[in-house]
């Protein structure tokens, strides 16, 4: 009975691995064909962070998809051991469709966590530990904006008196607001994590 359970568990993990790969590769294909950028929003993990899957040799193309991880403001954080495991520096890669993951063998799509928590929220000093995940109460604020309008002066009138027109393609800027120590600890902002719109043909 015990052997049967182990085999069943391994089989389930194998199917989940293949499904995950299929989902990512399918979304990459849709992104390429429809010229859209996919972004994942996830939560209920009692921590926060930003990750992405991308082709390191083409960091802005259709294979790049971001993930924003946040949690309920009242959620308690996980223990430090779990965070150490999740903060692993080992490279992870997405295999081709129909293949099982061989995480450390390079492919055209790599998984990364972004090091955005460079300052400790409690002390304000440089963070010497985990810079990829923050195990504190938090929320994420996301704003859509036109990079061309922001770059040329948002809302500035042109010489004819009309409003300047942007590209019409929106990017996203995500800020993580993290609570400090205590029930009424101060909030520190980390970010922004900029998620660029996808250029046509990329």
pLDDT over 90 (residue 47):
no
68 vs 78, more confident:
68
In a domain, 107, yes or no: yes
pLDDT of residue 79: 67
Q: How many domains does the chain have?
A: 1
Query: Could you report the per-residue pLDDT of 139-149, keeping only the tens digit for each?
Result: 899 999 998 88
pLDDT of residue 176: 95
156 vs 137, more confident:
137
Give the domain range for residue 173.
2-195
In a domain, 202, yes or no: no
User: In which band, very low, low, confident or very high, does the pLDDT at 160 lie, cut at 50, 70 and 90?
Assistant: very low
In a domain, 10, yes or no: yes
Number of alpha carbons in the 13 Å side-chain half-sphere of residue 173: 10
In a domain, 200, yes or no: no
In a domain, 76, yes or no: yes
pLDDT of residue 114: 93
Tell me if the pTM is above 0.85: no
User: In which band, very low, low, confident or very high, does the pLDDT at 183 lie, cut at 50, 70 and 90?
Assistant: low
Share of residues in the chain with pLDDT > 90 (%): 43
Query: Could you report the per-residue pLDDT of 164-179, keeping only the tens digit for each?
Result: 555 668 899 999 999 8
Residues near 147 by beta carbon (within 8 Å), at least 6 away in sequence? 166, 167, 169, 171, 196, 197
Q: Is the peptide bond before 192 cis (omega within 30 degrees of 0)?
A: yes
In a domain, 145, yes or no: yes
d(CA 105, CA 28): 20
In a domain, 155, yes or no: yes
């Amino acid at each position: 009975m015990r052997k049967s359970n182990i085999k069943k568990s391994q089989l389930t993990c194998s199917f989940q691995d293949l499904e995950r790969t299929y989902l990512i590769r399918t979304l990459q294909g849709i992104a390429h064909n429809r010229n859209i950028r996919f972004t994942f929003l996830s939560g209920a993990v009692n921590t926060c962070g930003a990750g992405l899957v991308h082709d390191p040799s083409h960091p802005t193309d259709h294979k790049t998809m971001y993930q924003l991880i946040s949690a309920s403001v009242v959620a308690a954080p996980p223990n430090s051991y779990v965070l150490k495991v999740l903060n692993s520096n080992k490279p992870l890669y997405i295999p081709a469709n129909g293949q099982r993951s061989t995480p450390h063998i390079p492919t055209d799509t790599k998984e990364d966590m972004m090091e955005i928590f460079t300052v400790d929220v409690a002390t304000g000093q440089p963070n010497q530990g985990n810079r990829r995940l923050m195990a504190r109460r938090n929320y994420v604020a996301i704003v859509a904006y036109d990079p061309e309008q922001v770059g040329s002066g948002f809302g500035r009138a042109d010489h004819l008196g009309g409003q300047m027109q942007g590209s019409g393609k929106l990017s996203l800027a995500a800020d993580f607001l993290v609570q400090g120590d205590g029930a009424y600890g101060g909030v520190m902002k980390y970010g922004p994590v900029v998620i660029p719109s996808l250029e046509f043909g990329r």
